[in-house]
A and B are shown apart, each in its own frame.
Chain A
């Protein structure tokens, strides 16, 4: 079949049941899934539409003749005729190869989403820190993801939807809003720390440490402790009592609290080094909102890690 320059053979999404072989000339394939610069050229010897032939899949491209060309259409009947004369394993092999290709395609899609996560968190956290605003336009983020990581717009949207499932952000039409300005920067830093240092970030706490901080927050809230300049101070006895409840009867010990004072999350008063003796300590002070953010980070991190990383 001869096609004149500029003539269309089919449109993306059209029903397809045949394979196209380019005998001479040049065809160009365009897809809405790909951006403009990702046109694909098909010169002599190229074949287009393997999955239309094998599985009646819709056309992947809109195919146009870039110059006067000659093409050959192979219909499913021809394939069936060939396979009738082949041993059974031949068809199984063909199906296996097609299936393997689909699996590789799916895996690539998944891995692209996973691998785009740090870039998205980087851009989002830098924007939140620089602007102090709790939102970013979807279009801005999509463009930046494209520029930084060549992430397609749809992939960015998919990733945002995944983050929305964890309540990290909210997609409000064309705007992405975060309920908490600190979580995305903290999440990015935790991932970055692990990637660059090959060890867990100090912000990722053990279950026991999380229970102690939960007890701290509860003590502040339930006893009406005032928060001054973001700081709250909880008497040691009160913290011990709350920790006992949080740890299901477990006792708050020097060993348990030491990592939290060593990392500076809790400050003992009077100050007594990194591992305070509880009986000699009157109270513990912490940046109350930072503690809440850390607890939120520690809620999200393992879930996100499990789902994406």
Chain B
């Protein structure tokens, strides 16, 4: 945009003076039909901003001495939509685009940059309000799908509309992310007549995928990767333990060692940190089967998670 001039550093460039008007009551100071971008400063009297876009003439606001309008129109390219009319005899100063530009040519570069930054930031903030706040759209979709029921067929169109309403991610991006989930074999597509249906094979796996992407995004260690081969063997073995068995830590260590699954105190602490054991009453621990299934599923579908299928 041409409003912010290249600053030449010449402070003696000619200033184009503003236009000063003395107007009678009823005079139209500014009309949106003119297409002009200008600042209107009321020095004396009163002006009204009138919305004439509808059949009714609606007064939007009144301007009093010292008020200024048109800044957003000049700096932020936001058209001023109202007609400005004098309600009494008034004095106004009009700063045209050329006048402002000449003034801006005579200010130091840091002040120009400040003005430019303020106007740019406002524009970006306004744009952000209409955009999706989501940065990692695939992670967001995985989280959404983790809350769908495994094996249930959902119409793709409704799913896209609901997800778009929740996150404002554009449908075209949602479709691309659904393809990504399809490539990883996390979801399946089918048809019922003309209707396209989608089904999440395993909602837990979707949750794992969401957690995996989150860990990657935040630079965190992906917990299933912390498991060594002997620890993985221990997890598989723990799935065979009867539900409700509770023992103190030394007993668990002894039991696993007896079953030729060598484990020392450090490894026990790691498993505990990972949530594989839950502390019950007193010092006794029981296996958290849900957590172990989570890790084993993550390990089993490692290549799907990485997108290497």
Contacts and interface: CB of A to CB of B under 8 A. Distances in A.
Interface string A24-66: 0000000000011100000001010010011000000000000
Contact of B217 (A37, A54, A87, A94): A37
B119 A93 contact: no
B133 interface: yes
Contacts of B75: 93, 97
Given A50-B114, A82-B108, A149 B166 contact: yes
Contact of B118 (A82, A86, A101): A101
Contacts of A107: 125-126, 129
Interface in B71-103: 71-72, 75-76, 93, 95, 103
B113 interface: yes
A97 B115 contact: yes
B68 interface: yes
Given A90-B103, A122-B147, A101 B110 contact: no
Contact of B147 (A35, A89, A97, A126): A126
Contacts of A36: 218-219
5 contacts: A45-B113, A92-B68, A93-B71, A122-B147, A149-B134
B163 to A, nearest CB: 9
B134 A89 contact: no
Contacts of A94: 114-115, 118
A158 B43 CA distance: 44
A149 B168 CA distance: 9
Interface residues of B, number: 49
Contacts of B39: 89, 93
A50 B117 contact: yes
Contacts of A72: 110
B166 A47 contact: no
A147 B125 contact: no
A150 B131 CA distance: 12
A267 to B, nearest CB: 29
Given A111-B129, A115-B168, A148-B143, 14 more contacts: A35-B218, A36-B219, A86-B107, A89-B93, A96-B71, A97-B75, A97-B118, A100-B76, A104-B126, A104-B129, A107-B125, A119-B167, A122-B166, A195-B162
List of 6 A-B pairs having minimum Cβ-Cβ separation, nearest first: A104-B125, A126-B147, A97-B118, A150-B133, A96-B71, A148-B143
B139 interface: yes
Contacts of A45: 113
B218 A37 contact: yes
A151 B167 CA distance: 10
A112 B134 CA distance: 11
B139 to A, nearest CB: 6
Q: Is the interface of B mostly helix, strand, loop or mixed?
A: helix
Contacts of B113: 21, 45, 47
B165 A147 contact: no
Contact of A74 (B68, B110, B134): B110
Contacts of A82: 107-108, 111
A79 B115 CA distance: 12
Contacts of B167: 119, 148-149
Contacts of B107: 82, 86
A150 B147 contact: no
Nearest to B211: A147
Interface in B244-274: none
Contacts of A1: none
B92 to A, nearest CB: 11
A115 to B, nearest CB: 7
B222 to A, nearest CB: 15
B166 A148 contact: yes
